[in-house]
């Protein structure tokens, strides 16, 4: 399976999914004009990838800002990974946030409450 890489812009995050390593990175700010269009290839790639993933999959997130529609898309990504976790696949999340940003911590904690997979929240 091919990697998925979408370069970051001023309003959309870097998407860097390496299927062989099982490392799925999303970094930057996420407030594209149409979040659902932006994340459509992410959903499609993940759906295909989760049919035959690496032995361990890590979603590594470093998002400093998400608009409302991006939050919905991130919930969808997390639910897809949580579904794989519930089927016995090794899946985890590492959520990085700026320690000076209390709202970013609150948001990460809310995402963590919505899933059953291992969810690590890391300050930097």
> pLDDT digits over 58-101, tens only?
999 999 899 999 999 999 999 999 999 999 999 999 999 999 98
Give pLDDT, residue 54: 85
More confident residue, 119 or 56: 119
Report pTM: 0.94
Residue 81 CB contacts under 8 Å (≥ 6 apart), including other chains: 46, 50, 57, 59, 91, 93, 115, 117
C-alpha dist (Å) from residue 8 to 11, 69, 84, 89, 108:
8, 17, 27, 29, 21
Sketch out the chain's domains with CATH numbers.
Answer: 4-123 (3.30.750.24)
Interval 40-60: pLDDT, tens: 999 999 999 999 888 899 999
């Amino acid at each position: 399976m091919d990697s998925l890489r979408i370069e970051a812009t001023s309003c959309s995050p870097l998407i860097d999914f390496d299927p062989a390593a099982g490392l799925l990175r999303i970094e930057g700010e996420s407030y594209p004009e149409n979040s659902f269009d932006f994340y459509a290839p992410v959903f499609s790639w993940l759906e295909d990838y989760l049919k035959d993933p690496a032995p361990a999959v890590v979603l590594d997130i470093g998002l400093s800002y998400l608009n409302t529609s991006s939050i919905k898309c991130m919930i969808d990504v997390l639910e897809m990974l949580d579904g794989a976790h519930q089927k016995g696949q090794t899946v985890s999340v590492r959520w990085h946030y700026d320690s000076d940003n209390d709202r970013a911590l609150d948001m990460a904690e809310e995402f963590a409450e919505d899933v059953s997979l291992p969810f690590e929240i890391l300050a930097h």
